[in-house]
Chains A and B, each alone.
Chain A
Amino acid sequence: MKTIITATGNTEDALFDLRYGRAKYFCIYDKETNSSKFIKNEHADAQGGAGTKAAEQTVELGVKQVISGDFGPKAKEILEKFNIQMVVLNDDTSSIKDIINKIK
């Protein structure tokens, strides 16, 4: 199962990003292979519709779970429609590594 964790940087030491559509990077963690890779969020600085774009990208990547700080109404609607689990964490002090260790 693949999980997206929103990140502020492209390493595992980077901090968790509380925003979903405007997160700098997405960390894609694969539970089966225990591997993670980072992709840049191209729409982080978009004028509008960042949440929708992020949700569409999530669907295309075949991810089943998204961990972020909050989800906008549009992103929520799309993720709900494609049966993707949303996890809301209000913890901006954790690094990506910490979160991966927790969900392992």
Chain B
Amino acid sequence: MPRKTRPRKVVEPPKFKAYKPVCLENENNECIELFYEEYEALKLADYDNMNHCDAAKLMDISRPTFARIYEAARRKIAKALVECKEIKAVYGNAIFDKNWFQCTLCKTRFSQPEGLELLECPICKAKEIAKM
């Protein structure tokens, strides 16, 4: 039996539901399913210009796994572009970690539960907070 798939940490889901081509030929109803983690991998590597090692750490997976997800994302998007297919964003194996922050001074990581308004480092009380 294969090992359970490790959940991939995703900071934010994509803001789109789907991308649809405007093509001259007869429309086909098929669509490509792009997973949230594939979108995240593509964003980290190509939009945020991170190297695979750091990006993998951020997503809480190994570097080879990150490379595989990234490769899958590129292949899916290339396929969609060439074959004029719709790209749909689907959940995949993602988990969200949106409420986590890091203090830029003392490097403490902390979560910010809903309902807690004041955003400051719980240890050094600094206001310089970076989103993880």
A residues apposed to B, CB below 8 Å:
65, 67, 73, 79-80, 83-90, 99, 102-103
Contacts and interface: CB of A to CB of B under 8 A. Distances in A.
Interface residues of B, number: 15
Please report whether the interface of chain B is mostly helix, strand, loop or mixed according to DSSP: loop
A85 B40 CA distance: 26
Contact of B112 (A73, A79, A85, A102): A85
A88 B113 contact: no
Contacts, number: 38
A85 B111 contact: yes
B123 A80 contact: no
Contact of B111 (A80, A90, A99, A103): A80
Contacts of A85: 110-113, 116, 122
B122 A65 contact: yes
A89 B123 contact: yes
Contacts of B7: 73
